[in-house]
Chains A and B, each alone.
Chain A
Amino acid sequence: SSELTQDPAVSVALGQTVRITCQGDSLRSYYASWYQQKPGQAPVLVIYGKNNRPSGIPDRFSGSSSGNTASLTITGAQAEDEADYYCNSRDSSGNHVFGGGTKLTVL
């Protein structure tokens, strides 16, 4: 099955912009979805499709994709954005895979 690679950890200063990336061959054909997970909580969908946000997700979250890389960008990071972020996508067999996750620290 396909694999998705994420940086294990990223940090950003409060109010600055951060990009979290996800790499994998399946992303050349399929969109990623992005999930935020805070300690002890279930994941929450933050971005899906080309660049769609579910209701209730702040517009500082955005998504993009180029080649084999999908990106989640937080413009003006807030303290409450500190969390683990996971990308997810499907492959040609219909299997799904999560990236290893990126721990975001807001300084």
Chain B
Amino acid sequence: QVQLQESGPGLVKPSETLSLTCTVSGGSISSYYWSWIRQPPGKGLEWIGYIYYSGSTNYNPSLKSRVTISVDTSKNQFSLKLSSVTAADTAVYYCARGISPNYYYYYMDVWGKGTTVTVSS
């Protein structure tokens, strides 16, 4: 049973860089897409981006200038960096495994429990 666990600081100062890691256990990081999604308090889900195990990435255009997602296959981990954060980046951050059997669909079948990140001085 694949499990995902987010980790990282729960408090980040404005203008600094938010850094989170997702550890994949119970399965390999290979052959899947690995996504980050966030949810501001009381609001809906927002896709941040994904990385394929081989290293190719795709980011939400609205966040692209500030986001970097990387993967470390040796540690079965992938990471999120979001620079120049503001209070608007305060959210629960989720990592998830993505599957795309063909060009026409993609789904996220395993999610981490989420980690709350607050941006405040």
Chain A contacts to B: CB under 8 angstroms: 1, 29-31, 33, 35, 37, 42-45, 48-49, 54, 84, 86, 88-90, 93-101
B61 contacts chain A at the CB level, 8 A cutoff: yes
Q: Are B58 and A95 in contact (CB under 8 A)?
A: yes
Minimum Cβ distance to chain B for residue A8 (Å): 10
- Chain B residue contacts of A90, Cβ below 8 A: 105-106
Task: Give the number of A-B contacts (CB < 8 Å).
Answer: 70
B106 touches A1 (CB 8 A): no
A94 to B47, CA, bound (A): 12
Determine whether the beta carbon of B111 is less than 8 Å from that of A42. Answer: yes
Would you call B40 an interface residue if the criterion is a C-beta within 8 Å of the partner chain's C-beta atoms?
A: no
Offer 20 A-B interface pairs, CB within 8 angstroms, sorted by A: A1-B60, A30-B105, A31-B105, A33-B106, A43-B45, A43-B111, A44-B111, A45-B111, A49-B101, A49-B107, A86-B44, A88-B108, A94-B58, A95-B47, A95-B61, A96-B35, A96-B58, A98-B44, A100-B44, A101-B45
